[in-house]
Structure 1
Amino acid sequence: MTVNSRRAGLLGLLLAGTFVLAACGTGPSSAPVEERRTSVSRPVMDPNTVAVKQPPGFENAGKVGYYTVKPGETLIRIGLETGQNWKDIAAWNNLAQPNQIEVGQVLRVTAPVVAGAVAATENGGVVTRPIGSSSIASTQVQPGQASSAAARPAATAAAEPAAAAAAAESGLSWIWPVPGPVLAGFDEVKNKGLDLGGAAGEPVLAAADGRVVYVGAGLRGYGNLIILKHNNTYLTAYAHNKSLLVKEDQAVRKGQKIAEMGNSDADRVKLHFEVRRQGKPVDPLKYLPPR
């Protein structure tokens, strides 16, 4: 073998080795690594299926004897709107903090029937009187039981003046709380009672026998306010007073001085006087005696 042949063979070996090394450098180990993970399917939470917290008592919404709290309302306001003592409402609903009620909450606003209720038969009808409430429980007349008003001869009832008839229906004897003039009459939307004129410090009298269920200034628009409960049906409210002379749960007699006239939360000295029948404002002129 000549020197040239030998050199050519060595050169061929070197080239072959270079190709081998190059081939090794371009193999799988130098290729970019693609990380592949097995995806795990997880449930996606649909916001429409998230449980919404319901307000207390929501299951009783719309039922007779229950009341749904509206924005801005307090237990005092609810008591006035339903014709109940706010303390009774707190007790019936086991409210440890009466001021902590929420919009949409459903409250019981009639006395629950409890064990030990007294049943009596009157004129063939059963009258149930729940026990255990500080207010007088309502009397429910069964079908076919005539009320005392309906039992009177129709001609006699028609002959009575409107105020006398309403007073007779209420079972109460009424007087004017102040002698001053009527500044503004009753309107179901604009004025839920009478605005009566007078002088600052003038006595404000209880319009009928009753019990004090609220004393204070916690009801916006009423100033220094007194609310009296007269029976299961009727409340009266006395607003804008200068001073309040009675306490809650105190029994008062018709004509008793309960406050002094003022202009608290009002543009002038006046008494705003309301009569509420089962919580609904009614025209006081239908109950007060003619002047």
Structure 2
Amino acid sequence: MSPVGRALLLALLCGLLSACAPQRSVRVEPSDRPQPRGTPTGLYEVVRGDTLYGIAFRHGMDYRELASMNGIGPPYTIYPGQRLRLSAGTTAQPTAPARPTREARGVIAPIVAEQPARPASGSTPPPTARPQPPPGAPPSSAPVTGTPAPVTPSVTPSLPAGPPRWQWPAEGQIVSRYLAGDPTRQGVNLAGRGGDPVRAAADGVVVYSGSGLIGYGELIIVKHDETWLSAYGHNRKRLVNEGEAVRGGQQIAELGRTGTSRDMLHFEVRRNGRPVDPLGVLPKR
């Protein structure tokens, strides 16, 4: 057989083998929550359910850095539709009411408040409200004053004294390790079975409990002090709420596979908002 014939026969055989091989599907998760059309690069538009901790965690920032960059002070109230700067060189264009000037003390800082509701037409204003215009007069264009109330503020327990005393959050074997600079490997993955206990790695306060961060599934974030956070992703069920104090070793979730193809815990440790290798702080096994 000529060289050309052999090449054609080899190509045909390769094609047949490829057609018979089992097909694998790969699902690629988007790296971030889709932003409304027209949102400039370097800005993030707040949606209902967001918290300042969650936004900062998603973008690898410290929540205090994000708050300072956008002129947001305690209790760090944010609003749906508000645009936040993610870098110092970006100019934010707020599209929501300014933050409240009256501090609501004793709340867990990063919350999203409802938009202030305008009085219904014809309703009787309270005694301190601005007088209504006479019948037939054009409506006033003066802005509505007042402070919008935050949504269901949670009392913040005091943070533990001293540095975190770390312990393993699950008993499974490590199936993926931290790799500096790789956004897909910012922690460790621990194998397990659905329903296995997920435990707090140290004393702290829950600052996020939800599923709004794409790629993490059902996620819990615990603040241990002003420096350290830990995160627990892909849970089957979350057992703690935002604002709740937890003890190291306390079960906070059930291990699962939300956002992944196998049962496992994704565990991250962050120092001042930046990921660090969890194996550098966890005790040796």
SS at 1:82 equivalent: coil
- 1:183/1:228 Cα in 2 relative to 1: closer, same or farther (>3 Å)? same
1:177 equivalent in structure 2? 169
CA deviations 1:184-216 (Å, max 9, x no partner) are 000121300001000000000000000000000
- Shift, 1:101, TM fit: 2.3
CA RMSD, Structure 1 to Structure 2 (Å): 3.4
Q: Does residue 269 in structure 1 map to residue 263 in structure 2?
A: yes
* 1:210–1:230 CA contact under 8 A, matched in 2: yes
Q: Which runs of 5+ in 2 are unaligned?
A: 1-38, 94-104, 110-161
Q: How does 1:39-78 map to 2 (within 5 A)?
A: 69-70=42-43, 75=52, 76-78=54-56
Q: How does 1:1-291 map to 2 (within 5 A)?
A: 69-70=42-43, 75=52, 76-79=54-57, 81-84=60-63, 92=74, 95-98=77-80, 100-102=82-84, 104=90, 134=108, 171-188=163-180, 189=182, 190-291=184-285
TM-score (norm 1): 0.51
- 1:133/1:205 Cα in 2 relative to 1: closer, same or farther (>3 Å)? same
SS at 2:233 equivalent: strand
Give the fraction of aligned pairs with identical amino acids, expressed as a percent.
Answer: 41
- Shift, 1:82, TM fit: 2.7
- Shift, 1:86, TM fit: 11
Between the aligned partners of 1:93 and 1:250, the Cα distance in structure 2 is: 17
- Shift, 1:83, TM fit: 3.5
- Shift, 1:171, TM fit: 1.7
* 1:79–1:85 CA contact under 8 A, matched in 2: no
Q: Which runs of 5+ in 1 are unaligned?
A: 1-54, 56-67, 108-130, 136-169
- Which of these two proteins has the greater Rg computed from alpha carbons? 1
* 1:223–1:265 CA contact under 8 A, matched in 2: yes
* 1:83–1:278 CA contact under 8 A, matched in 2: yes
Between the aligned partners of 2:208 and 2:227, the Cα distance in structure 1 is: 16
Between the aligned partners of 1:133 and 1:197, the Cα distance in structure 2 is: 36
- Relative to its length, the structure with more helix (as a share) is 1
- Shift, 1:97, TM fit: 1.1
- Shift, 1:282, TM fit: 0.2
Q: How many residues matched?
A: 168
